[in-house]
Structure 1
Amino acid sequence: MPSALPPRVVTTDQFPAYRDDETPSATPSGDLWDLSNNEISLPPLPQVLSILRSESGRAHLYPDPRAQCLVDALSEHFPVDRGSILVGPGSAGVLQQLLLTLCGPGDEVIYAKPCFDAYPLLVATSAARGVPVPLTATGEHDLHAMRARVGTDTRVIILCSPHNPTGTSLTPSDLRDFLVGLPPGVITILDQAYAEFDEGADPRDLGLFHAHGDVVVLRTFSKAHGLAGLRVGYAVAPPALVARARKTAIPFSVTRGAERAAIASLREQDTLRQRMAYVRGQRASLFRHLSDAGLAPLPSRGNFLWIPLGAGSERFAEESARVGVKVRAYPGQGVRVTVGSEEAHRLLISAARDFSRAAT
């Protein structure tokens, strides 16, 4: 029987659904420490838990479709004009809105490879063509190669800093040099989902956005703020782009509880700094112990470490799962490990020692 589906405009057939090809890891006891998702190991703030309890009784009501209170809070936090704030269900949801607005058939989106798993699929759903550019041997954006790939069909360049999965960070001077001379109308989306973990950067600094009319800054409450399960992200973008992108939003995509929790977290900047200091300390300890165990993780500015294991990546992930720790393997390239609890680290380091001994 012939298919009832119309001819496809969006070419997603070559991609699996997000993380759809993963198989769950299991241990004999059934216990598993998940260090594969870059979630923060600290619990939500007490204010957030209180908000969620109070909102549970109003789950039958729709939220504000504009999430205007959150827009106002972000506008005051940075500060920028309210018309420059676009909110949505996580930074991935906001990125989808932007790509749907900016791209169409025949357009190109340039990004580094390896990258956040959702980039290729989000680009494809906008009917654009992804142009992945390999990272350098040290896990950094190859800005020279990315610039060389810019052509007449280029509409968007995505730069992720700190980079997922390697944890490397672009310097302000490198970014400025890259942006100067790009063709007019080519939008650079600076994905800063992990900005708060970068001790060398000020998360409130929007200098590049103010200096360049074709720059979008993409952020999330999922990582440093610990609201991954609530799905709140935002972008700071030119007002004309924000006005257009809002039309692509799924109605009511930011729930009332998520909006209120994000506002509460945004106001706790002193607590956020303390939590970031803790995560950085755990990151430094894990880096040191993995190095001592015979591996060679890259220095990281995110809440994760990248171990360039090449052909041994999947084997290390299997060894980690055997002792009860799930990590994220990029076959043939490396392994990404989230900074987690001390107990999870202890098990992971044991697996690293066993892996190194087996390799010698």
Structure 2
Amino acid sequence: MTHTTYAERGTLADLTAYRAEESARAGSGPRAAHDLSSNELALPPLPSVLAGVQSELPRLGRYPDPTARELTEAVAGHLRVAPDQVAVGPGSAGVLQQILLALCGPGDEVVYAWPGFDAYPLLVAVAGATSVTVPLTGSGHHDLDALAARVTGRTKVVILCSPHNPTGTVIERERLHAFLRSLPEHVVTVLDEAYVEFERCGDPPGLPDVLRPAGRTVVLRTFSKAYGLAGLRVGYAAGPREVMATVRKTAIPFGVTRLAEHAAILSLGNGAELRGRLASVAAARSELALRLRELGLPVLPSQANFLWLPIPSHAASFGRAAAAAGVRVRAVQGQGVRVSVGAPEAHDMLLAALGQWARGMRF
């Protein structure tokens, strides 16, 4: 048998496929009754969206519009920007991949806080660039001074995430604007706002304010979280025309499906329904945080649909206790645990297991 030798890109050598290890472990044991590890919404898509997408089902045999023109125009109208300031793609992770491929290459660096969204290292490596990570502060916030200090002539992109994944903390706007103004002109900042609707208790129309004073900022958003369309994979970015023009060149052909485009357009027009569900998520988040604290666990204040427990020495043990009870959480070894806000029965199962686990623990 002949073995083929190939050259793997160096930036990928020490990485595995996204969540590959978790998938392998999940396949070797019983399936979790509740998954609180991926920040999925516990509710279905908006009722009006579910009803509206039915009309698209007979057309699934046809390719979607490769430019997703109707969605691009709808997002532009929602943000009150021009369509050429918008790029859409398969979820915010897909659009971020487009951005990094468009702006980065071998020898370039991408700076971001850590812990963070666990796809960041892989997406940077796929672009051929190098990740430069900066630890969060003790309170789970971005250390903006430390991030700025790591920016060099090789830095092409800085990624900020607010509300932050996994801590749920928010970058205060004045500090954000000051940070953006301090960056050199060759750096593009990507502000990942995947969870912004939870912070604002809705998705108000209008231009994201960070696009006004800083001409090198891209805002990244998704329909996966607040709108409950994670299974359809659709997100968007808004930013300078010249950046968005390049980002659109790196898009996967037909990357936004017809069904996803239609559902996203319908979602943008249902603010009242969205606000109602966000209020219910906020209430469930507050109750879950209270009950976890009653067990003696530290919980950071969150503006997203998840909670972060800074328990670096007990993260793995917490994850095992939850899994034994049939609940999957996101345990980051040596950092902490992220728990998504889910259904009441999922919270009850998790807390029942943790009640026994937490006895005698010191956090």
* TM-score normalised per structure 2: 0.95
Match of 1:322 in 2: 324
**Residue matched to 2:282:** 280
Q: How many residues align?
A: 358
Structure 1 residue 25 displacement after superposition: 7.8
Segments of structure 1 that go 5 or more residues without pairing to the other structure are none
- Alignment of structure 1 residues 67-146 onto 2, 5 Å: 67-146=68-147
Q: 1:201 to 1:270 in 2, by over 3 A?
A: closer
| 2: CA distance, partners of 1:116 / 1:186 | 21
The answer to whether the 8 A contact 1:26-1:32 is kept is no
CA drift of 1:184 comes to: 0.5
- Aligned match of 2:292: 290
Tell me if structure 2 keeps the 8 A contact 1:294–1:352: no
* Aligned-residue offset at 1:201: 8.8
Q: Quick check: 1:161–1:191 contact (8 Å CA) kept in 2?
A: yes
Q: Which amino acid aligns with 2:219?
A: V
5+ residue gaps, structure 2, are none
Aligned to 2:308: 306
* Counterpart residue number, 2:257: 255
Deviation at 1:348, TM superposition (A): 1.3
User: Which residue does 1:155 correspond to in 2?
Assistant: 156
Q: Does 1:215 align with 2:233?
A: no
| Secondary structure, aligned partner of 1:63 | coil
Deviation at 1:244, TM superposition (A): 1.2
Q: Cα deviations across residues 13-64 of structure 1 (Å, max 9, x unaligned)?
A: 2111000011218887x55110001001111123322344332222210000
Normalising by structure 1, report the TM-score.
0.96
* Superposition misfits of 4+ residues, deviation over 3 angstroms: 1-4, 7-10, 25-28, 199-205
Secondary structure of residue in 2 paired with 1:217? strand
Residue in 1 aligned with 2:14? 14
- Percentage identity across paired residues of the two chains: 51
Q: Which amino acid aligns with 2:117?
A: F
Taking a change above 3 Å as real, the CA distance of residues 15 and 151 of structure 1, as seen in their structure-2 partners, is: same
| Inter-CA distance 115–203: structure 2 relative to 1 (3 Å threshold) | farther
Query: What CA distance in whole angstroms lies between the structure 1 residues aligned with 2:125 and 2:274?
Result: 35
Q: Distance in 2 between matches of 1:76 and 1:238?
A: 16
Deviates more, 1:47-56 or 1:223-232: 47-56
Q: Could you tell me which residue of structure 1 aligns to residue 167 of structure 2?
A: 166
Which amino acid counterpart does residue 329 of structure 1 have in structure 2?
A: A
CA distance in 2, matches of 1:200, 1:55: 30
Alignment RMSD (CA, Å): 1.7
Task: State how far apart, in whole Å, the 2-side matches of 1:51 and 1:323 are.
Answer: 38
Match of residue 345, structure 1, among 344, 347, 359? 347
CA contact (8 A) 2:121 2:131 kept: yes
Taking the aligned partners of 2:200 and 2:66, their CA distance within structure 1 comes to 35
**2:299, 2:28 → 1: CA distance?**
25
| Cα displacement (A) at 1:247 | 1.1
